[in-house]
């Protein structure tokens, strides 16, 4: 049977994990099954706040359909450019990690770009939602995916060269711990006028997002790639899927939602800031 050292460590005793065909095992005798879809579960039961944490099946399906339609392709392309700017040594075997990877749309795009550039790397991802990981593991069967928390990563100190955080919780201390000296963090945040036209339909007085770049202790800011586009949403399913991915889904008055539901098309500005930080 083929086994190989995992990117992950045992969440119980902290020893390295070996990946076998259908499970992970540590030297301390702990074992973790790999689900048929290809991900594993490394979040200890006593650290789970609910039985099914994170986004549910319906939310994941809506997001997958929206992303696969290509509306956020410009962000995926920018992330690929950022990854290639950080991985410049053809002799190095890079370790990449997507924290809060969701259903792996960006993870898969980045892996494809590095493959195309002829670079050697391995890729891992965690998310709190097993429904999201099911899709991620299907998109990228060669990568390792685990249910885990960003605030308690099942990874040893200094093992990551490049860490992605795309609209997911910022766990500064854990990111610093797992990144190698000089490793990079790529952190995506919405720009001030992201989804401006959608917001203008939902609210009488839309406000710009707070988008000032923050400094994070232990990191040096290197570069920001700005992505600014207008997308033309086609069909109510895509409009409502995008709405469902936003924080407005929980705080919009009923009239605003009904207005949005009545539309067949919607043109809206999108904007993202892809910040590249280096571990100091
Ligand atoms: C807005 S989604 C972004 C997903 C993906 N990065 C993307 O852009 O398609 C946020 C993700 O963070 C995950 N998440 C939330 N809290 C988390 C935590 N404490 N640890 C790990 N993942 C978490 C959610 O399950 C969800 O998949
Ligand atoms: Zn163990």
- Pocket, ligand 1, Cβ cutoff 6 A: 54-55, 100-102, 105-106, 126-129, 132, 149-151, 166-169
- Digit-coded pLDDT (tens) for 93-143: 999 999 999 999 999 999 999 999 999 999 999 999 999 999 999 999 999
What pLDDT does 249 receive?
86
What pLDDT does 257 receive?
92
Q: How far is the CA of 17 from the centre of ligand 2 (A)?
A: 8
What pLDDT does 250 receive?
84
Most ligand 1 atoms within 8 A of CB, residue of 102, 130, 139 to mutate? 102
Within this chain, do residues 26 and 131 fall inside the same structural domain, yes or no? no
The mean pLDDT value for 156-171 works out to 97
Q: How far is the CA of 128 from the centre of ligand 1 (A)?
A: 7
- Would the pLDDT of 1 be above 70? no
What pLDDT does 50 receive?
67
Domain that residue 254 falls in: 38-279
What pLDDT does 45 receive?
73
Predicted model pTM: 0.95
Q: Of ligand 1's atoms, which has the minimum distance to the CA of residue 63?
A: 9
Within this chain, do residues 27 and 158 fall inside the same structural domain, yes or no? no
Within this chain, do residues 5 and 113 fall inside the same structural domain, yes or no? no
Within this chain, do residues 167 and 251 fall inside the same structural domain, yes or no? yes
Q: How far is the CA of 27 from the centre of ligand 1 (A)?
A: 30
Q: How far is the CA of 129 from the centre of ligand 1 (A)?
A: 8
The mean pLDDT value for 64-91 works out to 97
Residue whose Cα lies nearest atom 9 of ligand 1: it is 102
- The better pLDDT of the pair 252, 75 is held by 75
- Report how many domains make up the chain: 2
Within this chain, do residues 29 and 167 fall inside the same structural domain, yes or no? no
Within this chain, do residues 16 and 126 fall inside the same structural domain, yes or no? no
Within this chain, do residues 22 and 65 fall inside the same structural domain, yes or no? no
CATH number at residue 132: 3.40.50.150
Within this chain, do residues 164 and 205 fall inside the same structural domain, yes or no? yes
Within this chain, do residues 7 and 134 fall inside the same structural domain, yes or no? no
Within this chain, do residues 15 and 42 fall inside the same structural domain, yes or no? no
Q: How far is the CA of 188 from the centre of ligand 1 (A)?
A: 12
What pLDDT does 48 receive?
66
Q: Of ligand 1's atoms, which has the minimum distance to the CA of residue 166?
A: 6
How far is the CA of 269 from the CAs of 192, 195, 240, 257, 266, in angstroms? 11, 5, 16, 19, 10
Within this chain, do residues 232 and 206 fall inside the same structural domain, yes or no? yes
- Would the pLDDT of 200 be above 90? yes
- Digit-coded pLDDT (tens) for 22-61: 999 999 999 999 999 999 999 987 766 666 667 778 888 8
What pLDDT does 185 receive?
98
Most ligand 1 atoms within 8 A of CB, residue of 168, 189, 245, 272 to mutate? 168
- Digit-coded pLDDT (tens) for 201-256: 999 899 999 988 999 999 999 999 999 999 999 999 999 999 988 888 888 888 88
Within this chain, do residues 3 and 54 fall inside the same structural domain, yes or no? no
Long-range pairs for 49-52 at CB < 8 Å and ≥24 separation?
A: 52/130
């Amino acid at each position: 049977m083929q086994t190989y050292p995992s990117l992950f460590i045992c969440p119980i005793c902290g020893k390295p994990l070996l990946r076998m065909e259908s499970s992970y095992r540590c030297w301390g005798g702990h074992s973790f099954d790999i689900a048929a879809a290809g991900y594993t579960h490394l979040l200890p039961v006593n650290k789970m706040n609910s039985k099914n944490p994170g986004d549910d099946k319906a939310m994941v399906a809506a997001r997958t359909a929206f992303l696969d339609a290509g509306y956020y392709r410009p962000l995926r392309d920018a992330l690929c450019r950022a990854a290639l700017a950080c991985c410049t040594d053809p002799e190095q075997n890079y370790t990449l990690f997507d924290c809060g990877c969701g259903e792996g749309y960006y993870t898969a795009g980045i892996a494809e770009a590095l493959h195309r550039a002829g670079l050697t790397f391995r890729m891992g991802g965690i998310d709190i939602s097993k429904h999201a990981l099911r899709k991620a593991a299907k998109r990228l069967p060669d990568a390792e995916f685990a249910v885990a928390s960003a605030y308690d990563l099942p990874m040893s100190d200094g093992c990551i060269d490049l860490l992605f955080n795309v609209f997911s919780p910022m766990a500064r201390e854990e990111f610093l711990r797992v990144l190698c000296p000089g490793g990079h963090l790529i952190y995506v945040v919405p720009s001030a006028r992201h989804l401006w036209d959608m917001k203008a339909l939902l609210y009488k007085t839309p406000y710009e997002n707070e988008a000032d770049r923050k400094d994070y202790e232990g990191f040096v800011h290197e570069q920001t790639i700005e992505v600014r586009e207008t997308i033309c949403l086609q069909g109510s399913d895509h409009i409502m899927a995008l709405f469902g991915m936003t924080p407005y889904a929980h705080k919009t008055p009923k009239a605003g939602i009904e207005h949005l539901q009545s539309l067949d098309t919607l043109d809206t500005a999108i904007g993202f800031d892809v910040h590249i930080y280096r571990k100091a």
